[in-house]
Amino acid sequence: MTTTATESAARSRIPAVPGAPLLELRDLVMHFNVKGEGMLIRANNKVRAVDGVSLTLGEGETIGLVGESGCGKSTTGRLITRLLQPTAGQILYRGHDIAKLSEPKLRPYRRELQLIFQDPYSSLNPRHTVGTIIGTALRVHDLVPKGEELPRVRELLDIVGLNPEHYNRYPHEFSGGQRQRIGIARALAVKPKVIVADEPVSALDVSIQAQVMNLLEDLRKEFGIAFIFIAHDLGVVRHFCDSVAVMYLGRIVEQGARDVVYGAPQHPYTQALLSAVPDLGVARGTPPKARIRLSGDVPSPINPPSGCRFRTRCWKAEDICAQVEPKLERKADGLLSACHFAAPPAGSLTAQVD
């Protein structure tokens, strides 16, 4: 039997503030203090990993969070699940701000907001059996009476496609794909409303990736869970997500419904990302597109460029881009784009920047 998002909402243990969305990030900031290097060893630097991210996730919705390595995707996921406390900003779950809550007050929210980690090898304690790993999640949240976890553990193993009788085995006795299923079962144990899946299949063999993605898809339908789905693979995001948020250097530069972002992206960075994916036509029905090659590396998040952070690699940059930071503004089809010269690609993408 499948669960609609409305039924899932009704079963939440946290009463919603009237009119509040399931999850809302408002101007979320995470700066890490780091020491300088070499001559600057005494300097205190700030890594601006997340620098003003706002995002809204509806009941049962799936948002894909994409962008190059180091742009702040995992940090955003760790903030949402409060493995990190933000430097500033709000994390509103059903209208309640959990950004600064102490650990005891966070407890009921931890049940509702779960994280699936990228690496199925290091995210499971090698000294514990699968039964203990999943059973601990049940015990911590008082979901079953002490000593009565086993039937529920078996049920969860069955749900994620593992043999229920393998509860006594250790993580090393499973393959990578099977371990990721154990991580998914652990997240499911507490009946979450939101799962942040941080590159859940990128460490797996290609042949196994589709199986785990199908499992996540089934769980989403069956339990009405909303997802923040972090991924490098834009093909997987297109398949799995309702909408897409594109991050660059700690900010969201473009966001919108999946078909709008993939069909007519307006931000040059999104256009460049999509042009690098072989089988994704940016402008549908057009001849094969040329790849946009971005010059240079991503600038340091310690000292991001003035104005538009993408300007040092953007082929459309003009003087204003160095002076005025573009705001995330609404364009056609509800697309939000942060670019002074936002425009859909004209036909196939032909710009070449090297």
Ligand X SMILES: Nc1ncnc2c1ncn2[C@@H]1O[C@H](COP(=O)(O)OP(=O)(O)OP(=O)(O)O)[C@@H](O)[C@H]1O
Calculate the alpha carbon distances from 81 to 56, 57, 129, 143, 174 in Å. Answer: 15, 14, 25, 20, 27
Calculate the alpha carbon distances from 205 to 209, 232, 263 in Å. Answer: 6, 15, 29
By CB under 6 A, which span of 182-190, 228-236, 314-322, 327-335 interacts with ligand SF4?
314-322
- In angstroms, the CA 191 to CA 133 distance is 16
Q: 244 pairs with which residues across the strands?
A: 64, 256
* Closer residue to ligand SF4, CB minimum distance, 179 or 340: 340
By CB under 5 A, which span of 21-29, 72-80, 96-104, 295-303 interacts with Mg ion?
72-80
Torsion sign (Cα): 264, 247, 118, 105: negative
Q: Does 299 bind ligand X (CB under 6 A)?
A: no
Q: Does 301 bind ligand X (CB under 6 A)?
A: yes
Q: Does 70 bind ligand X (CB under 6 A)?
A: yes
* Closer residue to ligand SF4, CB minimum distance, 303 or 323: 323
Q: What is the footprint of ligand SF4 within residues 97-116 (CB under 6 A)? A: none
* Closer residue to ligand SF4, CB minimum distance, 179 or 311: 311
Residue 326 touches which of Mg ion, ligand SF4, ligand X, none (Cβ within 5-8 Å per kind): ligand SF4
Residue 310 touches which of ligand SF4, ligand X, Mg ion, none (Cβ within 5-8 Å per kind): ligand SF4
Q: Does 81 bind ligand X (CB under 6 A)?
A: no
- In angstroms, the CA 24 to CA 45 distance is 29
Residues 50/30, Cβ–Cβ less than 8 Å: yes
Q: Does 8 bind Mg ion (CB under 5 A)?
A: no
Q: Does 62 bind Mg ion (CB under 5 A)?
A: no
Contacting ligand SF4 (CB under 6 A), which of 109, 240, 262, 310?
A: 310
Q: Does 331 bind ligand SF4 (CB under 6 A)?
A: no
- φ/ψ region of 247 (left if φ > 0, alpha if ψ in -120 to 50, else beta) reads beta
Q: What is the footprint of ligand X within residues 12-51 (CB under 6 A)? A: 32, 34, 47, 49
Cβ-based neighbour number of residue 129 at 10 Å:
17
Total number of residues binding ligand SF4 (CB under 6 A)? 13
- In angstroms, the CA 99 to CA 103 distance is 11
Q: Does 342 bind ligand X (CB under 6 A)?
A: no
Q: Does 52 bind ligand X (CB under 6 A)?
A: no
> Smallest distance, Å, CB 354 to ligand SF4?
17
Calculate the alpha carbon distances from 150 to 173, 243, 265, 271 in Å. Answer: 19, 38, 49, 50
- In angstroms, the CA 41 to CA 289 distance is 46
Torsion sign (Cα): 19, 21, 27, 33: positive
Q: What is the footprint of ligand X within residues 230-289 (CB under 6 A)? A: none
Q: Does 317 bind ligand SF4 (CB under 6 A)?
A: yes
Residue type, 195: I
Residue 316 touches which of Mg ion, ligand X, ligand SF4, none (Cβ within 5-8 Å per kind): ligand SF4
Dihedral angle, C-alpha 308, 69, 316, 346, nearest 10 °? -130
Q: Does 308 bind ligand SF4 (CB under 6 A)?
A: yes
Residue type, 157: L
Residue ranges in contact with Mg ion by CB under 5 A: 74
Residue ranges in contact with ligand SF4 by CB under 6 A: 267-268, 308, 310-311, 314, 316-317, 321, 326, 339-341
Residue ranges in contact with ligand X by CB under 6 A: 32, 34, 47, 49, 69-75, 301
